[in-house]
Amino acid sequence: MEKIKLGISTCLLGEPVRYDGGHKLDRFLKDTLGQYVEYVPVCPEVECGLGTPRESMHLEGETGALRLVTSRTKMDLTDRMLSWSNKRVRELEAEELCGFIFKSNSPSSGMERVRVLDPKGVPHKTGVGIFAGVFMHHFPLIPVEDEGRLHDVSLRENFIERLFAFQRWRQTLTPGRKTVRLE
Ligand code: SF4
């Protein structure tokens, strides 16, 4: 049976790609949902060449013109991340993803309510991670969630239903392909 393909932030699968060399393994995503789907891991910060470990970073600036900046040395990585993200989403077209699970609160991977520092250094939960923003703009119909929201059972069920609905919609565009069942 053909498995549903999902993009996922690499650290959620337990890979040590975080800025501090750690990970954010999510057991439900890896061990339970992972039995039924095929993951396509994406770590924007490592894949754009920043390496591990690396300096931590955050978003700052105004909505619509957010900058990705390293926390200690204030290096502006926005253009580098944007350029890589635009290239990566074009590559991901070939994967035919039916969804993406993002790491919450990340300045690169967070899909909503990411911390942004305003010009006075005051944090606001109003940002979207740079890669996540490019992904959602490029694939506006693909269901997305973050691992934090998926701890809520009703949100989780809703997301899984949306994955299957999206897979079926893809299949109507590609006659002759098989479906997968979660039972
Ligand atoms: S949150 Fe995103 S950029 Fe940060 S380690 Fe995880 S996958 Fe990489």
CA 41 – ligand 1 centroid, Å: 10
Angle between helices 78-92 and 130-138 (to 10 degrees): 40
Could you read off the pLDDT of 72-113 as tens digits, one per residue? 999 999 999 999 999 999 999 999 999 999 999 999 999 999
State whether the beta carbon of 167 lies less than 6 angstroms from ligand 1.
Answer: no
Q: Is 104 in the pocket of ligand 1 (CB under 6 A)?
A: no
- Top-confidence residue, 64 or 28: 28
Full-model pTM? 0.94
Burial state string for 54-80 with b = 16 or more CB within 10 A and e = fewer than 16: beebbbbbeeeebbbbbeeeeeebbee
| All domains in the chain, ordered by first residue | 4-54+81-111+128-173 (3.40.50)
Cα–Cα distance between 154 and 130 in angstroms, integer?
28
pLDDT tens column, 160-175: 999 999 999 988 887 6
Q: What integer is the mean pLDDT of 11-32? A: 98
Euclidean distance between CA atoms 157 and 118, whole angstroms: 36
CA angle 17, 114, 52 (to 5 degrees): 15
Q: Give the Å distance between the CA of 147 and the centre of ligand 1.
A: 12
